[in-house]
Amino acid sequence: MSNRVIRHGDCAAPRTVRVDARKVFGMGGHSGIGMLEFLIALLIFSMGMMGLLTAQLAGKKVGHEAAQRSIATALVRDMLERIRANPGQIADYRGTEAGDDSHRLPLPDADCDTTACTATQLAAFDVWQWESLLLGESEKLAGVYAGGLVSPRACITGDAGEIAVTISWLGATNFPEATVAHCAGNDVGSDGASSAIDPTTLRRQQLTISTFIEPR
């Protein structure tokens, strides 16, 4: 076996190792991916929020329409009960058209809530008070009616004991096939301005309840 003597001069100089920090920390040619992922996430979040806001708006609209229909139902039944309690004056109730704030029903001669009234006076007071409920006079916000129905129109019709109470009000959606009673002749179109009845622009909803009340 040969013995090899290693001289000091035989040692090679140590090599310098260079480390690329961009490769170690993942900062190479893919440095733009983080921003792209952020933008995609922001787009998805924005679309989700838009969908949520749209759903909330639709839900509020449906809730408002349901509340208006509930108010209309209560008002129709209220008037029918008023007539039922004063059957001898059915003729005084029949033919009433109410709800036009610019052409209000005349002020009654007596306040039947505080004083005794005749049957005729009670009928006049009933329809006057009922119109104020239609318009929501009992609730005001900044001087504007906040209760009742939106742009209501109402009429009481019937013959030989058959009484029908019809209420129509301005809805939030167009109803091309809507049928509007004659008591809603002063209609309101989709632009919110008064107009003649046009089946293509009607936004009015309507409720009619009829019953038999025997005259006395």
Taking only the tens place, the pLDDT of each residue in 20-61 is 555 555 555 555 567 888 888 888 888 888 888 888 887 888
For the question of whether the overall pTM of this predicted structure is more than 0.85, the answer is no
Residue 26 lies in a domain: no
User: With pLDDT > 70 as the criterion, what percentage of the chain qualifies?
Assistant: 68
Residue 6 lies in a domain: no
Question: Which residues does 58 contact at the CB level (< 8 Å), separation at least 6?
Answer: none
Total number of domains in the chain: 1
Residue 78 lies in a domain: yes
Residue 168 lies in a domain: yes
Residue 204 lies in a domain: yes
Asked if the model's pLDDT at residue 140 lies above 90, the reply is no
Asked if the model's pLDDT at residue 216 lies above 50, the reply is yes
For residue 128, count other CB atoms closer than 10 A to its CB: 18
Q: What is the mean pLDDT of the chain?
A: 77
Q: Provide the domain limits for residue 54.
A: 33-212
Residue 176 lies in a domain: yes
Residue 8 lies in a domain: no
Asked if the model's pLDDT at residue 104 lies above 80, the reply is yes
* 189 and 203 Cβ atoms separated by less than 8 Å: yes
Please compute the mean of the pLDDT values over residues 98-105 and round it to a whole number. Answer: 87
Residue 23 lies in a domain: no
